Chain A
Amino acid sequence: MAKLPADIPEIVRQFGPTLNRVPAGGWVASEEEDRMVKTHCCFCGQQCGIQLRVRNNKVVGWEPWEDFPFNLGKLCPKGVKRYMQDEHPDRLKHPLQRVQGKGFEPISWDAALSRVVSQIRRIQQTYGNDAFAVLTGASLTNEKAYLMGKFARVALRTANIDYNGRLCMVSAGAASKKVFGIDRSANPWSDIPKAKVILVAGGNIAECAPITTDYLWQARENGGKLIILDPRLTPIARNADLYIPVRSGGDIGIFNGMLHVMIERGWIDRDFIAQHTIGFEQVAETVKKYTPEYAAQIAGVPAAMIVRAAEMWGPARTSFLLHARGIEHHSKGVDNCIAAINLVVATGRIGHEGCGYAMITGQGNGQGAREQGQKCDQLPGSRDIANPEHRKYIAGIWGVPEESIPAKGLSAVPLIEAIHDGKIKGLLSICFNPTVSLPDANHVRAALEKLEFYVNIEFFLSETARYADVVLAGSLMEEDEGTTTSVEGRVIRHRKVVSPPADAREDWKIVCEIARRLGHGDKFNYASPRDIFEELRAASRGGVSDYYGITWERIENEYGIFWPCPEIGHPGTPRLYEGGKFGHPDGKAHFIPIEWRPSAEMPDDDYPIILTTGRVVSHFLSGTQTRRIGGLVDQYSQPLCEMHPRLAEKLGVQDGDFVRVESRRGAVVVRAQVVKTIRPDTVFIPYHWPLDRSANNLTVRAIDPVSNIPEFKICAVRVSKAEEPTDVIAQLEVQAGGIR
């Protein structure tokens, strides 16, 4: 069925988002807690240590955890207010089923699960196993990520499982794997302050990875120089030594132009290149034509900036590259990353103290959740689902015939397209809110309506869960235990702080019970997440992301362990590639020549302005959690369209005016924010909001051919002044998609 069961204001009335502003039990003297639990933030890939305060088995507050070495007590506003998602009035406490014309009503677990299982069976028997798909998320623990991959391949035997890391880390991961043979940040964060020059490419660190800010500032205190590439002058760009306002999609111009200058001036390490790499000659040949002037045309910046960047990066003694979604969210996202990484490899500055590179992992378990086998092309241990040896090993761990493991399935965007085309008829999703987070949101909503059956495991009724036939009340991060792997590749432990409320259940129990009812109970017979971890350890053994030597005790005693950790007693591997030894079978880094190509949709006469999208500091991803927390919504309450005063003048728009932003796919009406800190040819809208405030109504459904990441960072729009909207959606509260 999968259509909205009632109109949106009615669903919002029943399930929010509403705002929580006061801790459970009210403001009480802070020392009156029953216990304090050391755990980690549930939000981004930094995975900061935090202590949650518990009274009467309720999370009522927090306290910094100053001993945890990554963040030393530091927290961003999301971390500070995270506990307000506990004891929240919108919390789902029972399984629900869709009731036409009414909304949702509670049903028993038995009835809900029976319905789920009979619909899975019906759809798979009628249309084939692959007609039932699974969408998961990168905020799941390693244990749950592992479980979801196994559930799809063993219990459902569907090829079609993918995850929302597809919108996050896949370009970075693919590039890293191609060049180095391993998909992980190469260095621990403690190397950043030791670098003499740092290049941040497409990373709004102050807002999206705030804790990393202090590492950058420490490097500057030590005399390090900072180069920032971003179409917007972000808070870290304000104090950079060189800020390059690159045109979205023009990054390869900067990287190839820099390498051109570095080769010309002899700022490359020929010995390192000869001993530890292959393919440099083709790269050198390719960048020959990228003179600063040519490169500047592509990048949309003055040539002198590219020369200056090369002068800072080229001769430095130590250096660090950080890249993030700004260069990755492109139909050439993998190429953008490779071109950037070529700058690291050409200087040989990797695998030493203060020398290396990292991708800034976005989601809570953005690293670990892409290793445990919930990607459409992957098995646990970062293994390849098309590799017969890998399949055989995992089949052995799972106790299933190798041939029963499906082949590679569809990635997230094509999977939604297959639903839209009627090829996929049923869906189970967890930890994914695609109606807000995927590009071309109108298409996503239309696709969901075509599902014959949709079951969603959730703790709040997300905008996507509204389309579900059955919603299973799952668990928040603090209501279960498990591990995640942070931005550094450090495997850490989340502790169970409280139990799921009322009738809600831990996610892993729900999934195992569905598997049991489908007749695969023997393969999902876990007593705890720790049981799942023990199997995961063995499944990862010998793989690239080898967790075999990691135990929960060691994680606790050592403040986390960096993979690979192949044996019990192995110290873990904070810094990869020491001694110039890379992850490919030949032990070398592989240079790959990169040519710039245009983005899928470039501005033209009809849609003359570039739209780029991103995040703000007080919200996380699709906002399912942060749009329910009063303090965070107060800080940034509704999306604003940032534009330069020169563009605003041309459009006749003033700061605070309502503007209609349209692309070929849809429109939003939002208020304008007129600022000099953005390129005049570009507008920016953050994407955390749903419905008529969703920046993804505008974005283009184009994906990278290798990573399949969507092109969130550039599409073509037109902007015009608008009247204040007065429709029913506009009248909703701002956190629900209204406008003020």
Chain B
Amino acid sequence: MSERAFYIDYSRCIGCQSCVQACAECDTHRGVSMIHLETIQRSESVQTAPQVCMHCEDPICARVCPADAIKKTPDGVVQSSLKPRCIGCSNCVLACPFGVPKYQVDIDQMMKCDMCYDRTSVDKKPMCATVCPSGALTFATAEEIQRTRRGIAINSWKFGSEEVTTKVFVIVPREVERVNVELVQIAATPAALPPDPYDVALMLEAAK
């Protein structure tokens, strides 16, 4: 087992979709990408965010699966549903806090990112983390990350009251210890939002 781990740095992402196009090339899922590239809100900014399976230590998708179809390998990779067991109920799709599993209608089965198990098991990097032009997706040792990145890598999350630890790390500013995800009602609290940072018209006015 490689000592390398998977790191996501959302701040580096340029939304080019190399990861999506490359993932779709895999002969096990044949033209369908298992990585999701989220365009946050194009009208407001160019921000995008790639989402691979985070491979939770205690995967919620597996916990909520009534058919016991989602298994974790000894090295911590949470796999796609087992075809003979998956009943296509989509519990996992609803439960995953990262929005990773997707129910594939045509094959009546949940499929998701398995961190390119075929590649990582023979010490290759996952495909998305190999091609990513921006380094937003990286498969590297902890030492390499410490040497080359300003931020720190963490794998601790809190969704409301649910604490999650993941095999995949995210790179965050040094002061952050855990990613806390809270519900924010954007429309209801405009005053609480920071001024629009990506509105070019405001930039042109601001410094005048």
Contacts and interface: CB of A to CB of B under 8 A. Distances in A.
Do most interface residues of chain B lie in helix, strand or loop, or is the interface mixed?
loop
A74 B18 CA distance: 9
Given A81-B21, A206-B15, A631-B24, A75 B131 contact: yes
Interface residues of B, number: 45
B198 A676 contact: yes
Interface in B156-201: 196, 198-201
A612 to B, nearest CB: 13
Given A213-B135, A233-B198, 7 more contacts: A74-B133, A75-B131, A79-B131, A218-B135, A223-B150, A235-B13, A245-B204
Contact of B17 (A221, A618, A674): A618
Interface stretch (A301-309, A337-345, A442-450, A602-610): A301-309
A630 B115 CA distance: 25
A617 interface: yes
Interface string A606-624: 0000000000011000000
Nearest to A678: B200
Interface in A178-221: 206-207, 210-211, 213-214, 217-218, 220-221
A77 B21 contact: yes
A74 B42 contact: no
A218 B204 CA distance: 29
Interface in A660-699: 673-680
Contacts of B204: 245, 300-302, 679-680
Nearest to A617: B16
A66 B198 contact: no
B95 interface: no
Contact of A235 (B43, B46, B148, B201): B46
A88 interface: no
B130 A74 contact: yes
A213 B133 contact: yes
Contacts of B207: 302-305
5 contacts: A79-B131, A214-B133, A233-B46, A235-B14, A302-B204
A64 B11 contact: no
B96 to A, nearest CB: 25
A76 B19 CA distance: 9
A477 to B, nearest CB: 19
A76 B201 contact: no
A708 B54 CA distance: 52
A523 interface: no
Nearest to A83: B25
A243 B203 CA distance: 9
B47 interface: yes
B135 A217 contact: yes
A680 B201 contact: yes
Given A617-B17, A680-B201, A674 B130 contact: no
Nearest to A32: B27
B200 A27 contact: no
Contacts of A218: 135, 148
A264 interface: no
A64 B119 CA distance: 12
B14 A213 contact: yes
Interface in B121-151: 125, 127, 130-135, 148-150
Given A75-B22, A77-B21, A218-B148, A210 B133 contact: yes
Contact of B43 (A28, A80, A303, A675): A675
Interface string B36-67: 00000011111110000000000000000000
Contacts of A239: 11-12
Interface in A237-260: 237-239, 243, 245
A76 B132 CA distance: 7
A676 B130 contact: no
A232 B133 CA distance: 21
A675 B131 CA distance: 29
B42, B196, B200, most chain A CB atoms within 10 A: B200
Contacts of A300: 204
Interface residues of A, number: 63
Contact of A21 (B11, B26, B31, B196): B31
A673 B42 contact: yes
A100 interface: no
Given A238-B198, A635-B21, A210 B14 contact: yes
Contacts of B132: 74
A646 B31 contact: no
B49 to A, nearest CB: 12
B200 A233 contact: yes
B145 to A, nearest CB: 10
Contacts of A213: 12, 14, 133-135
A658 B44 CA distance: 20
Contact of A76 (B27, B31, B133, B203): B133
A618 B20 CA distance: 12
B206 interface: yes
A66 B130 contact: yes
Given A304-B207, A645-B43, A677 B17 contact: no
Contacts of B125: 66, 73
Contacts of B134: 206, 210, 213-214, 217
Contacts of B199: 676
Given A80-B22, A302-B208, A234 B46 contact: yes
A61 interface: yes
Given A64-B130, A80-B131, A238-B46, A680 B18 contact: no
A22 B31 contact: yes
Closest 3 CB pairs of A and B: A302-B207, A206-B14, A235-B14
A207 B148 contact: no
Contacts of B133: 71, 74-76, 210-211, 213-214
Contacts of A495: none
B161 to A, nearest CB: 32
B21 A655 contact: no
A490 B44 CA distance: 40
Contacts of A27: 27, 30-31
B198 A677 contact: yes
B195 to A, nearest CB: 12
Contacts of A74: 18, 130-133
B207 to A, nearest CB: 4
Contacts of B198: 233, 238, 676-677
B43 A30 contact: no
Interface in A42-71: 61-62, 64, 66, 71
A644 interface: yes
A527 interface: no
B31 A221 contact: no
